[in-house]
Amino acid sequence: MAQFRLQSSKVLAVSLTGDGVKAKNGSMVAYDGQMAFKKMSGGGEGIRGMVTRRLTGEQMTVMEVKGHGTCFFADRASEINLVQLHNDTLYVESSNLLCTDGGLRTGTSFTGLRGASQGNGLFTTTVEGSGQAAIMSDGPAVVLRVSPQYPLNVDPGAYIAHQGRVSQSFQSGVNFRTLIGEGSGESFQIRFEGDGLVYVQPSERNTVGGEV
């Protein structure tokens, strides 16, 4: 199984012993040993994945890296966060996903209104199984636990990923004040309930809801 570790907060090092990982296309910055890079169409999910990704707009270009040695990945000096999955599902925006273990399955799922408020489309990428994955954020991510007694509200622009059994609902505080241009700027929030982890970045993407 591929071993993930952080060479620095912005460079991911993966040790491979004959097995493979899936990584964002073009994110390799260095490697030692023997490596083979192969671009995978449709996120490595076959024809079906290709079509779904095209239809849902959750496009990602992925390459498969196989070999012996250490491969280093980085992307635009984004901060990298490691995620450990134990028969679990990680939901992440395709633009924030850097690298996943070869044994993990990736797919797409419907997110509903949350995606729309982020301007990221209505679908998100899922990573399922057991193994490691690396996600990127603008500034080091803060990992927040959601438990039944402590639900969490997150700004759509700062949300990057979540894992575990959590349900998300979209909350809108839009009222007549928003309409007259006196909104609080925090009108849209995603509420997470259940049991799991939510990854939040210390920065906000421009979102449709951001100005409201």
Contacts with another protein, 65-104, as mask; x by CB under 8 A: ----------------xx-x--------------------
Residue 65, C-beta contacts closer than 8 angstroms, at least 6 positions apart? 14, 16, 20, 21, 22, 23, 28, 35, 36, 37, 71
Which helix (H) or strand (E) element contains residue 48?
helix 46-56
3-state secondary structure of 209: helix
The nearer residue to another protein, 123 or 159, going by C-beta atoms, is 159
Query: Per CB under 8 A, does 200 bind another protein?
Result: yes
Of 133, 9, 148, 128, nearest in space to 77 by CA: 9
Which residue's structure tokens are 């924030």? 96
Smallest distance from the beta carbon of 164 to another protein, in angstroms?
11
The nearer residue to another protein, 14 or 28, going by C-beta atoms, is 14
Smallest distance from the beta carbon of 99 to another protein, in angstroms?
13
Q: Which of 46, 57, 69, 140 binds another protein (CB under 8 A)?
A: 140
Query: Per CB under 8 A, does 123 bind another protein?
Result: no
Residue 19, C-beta contacts closer than 8 angstroms, at least 6 positions apart? 1, 2, 66, 102
Tokens at 121, concatenated: 């489309």
Query: Per CB under 8 A, does 154 bind another protein?
Result: yes
Smallest distance from the beta carbon of 78 to another protein, in angstroms?
10
Query: Per CB under 8 A, does 203 bind another protein?
Result: yes
Of 201, 210, 129, 130, nearest in space to 161 by CA: 201
Smallest distance from the beta carbon of 159 to another protein, in angstroms?
8
User: What is the C-alpha to C-alpha distance for residues 137 and 140, in angstroms, rounded to an integer?
Assistant: 6
Q: Which of 67, 112, 121, 183 binds another protein (CB under 8 A)?
A: 183
Residues forming contacts to another protein in the complex (CB under 8 A) are: 3-6, 81-82, 84, 132, 138-145, 147, 150-155, 157-158, 173, 177, 181-187, 197-198, 200-204, 210
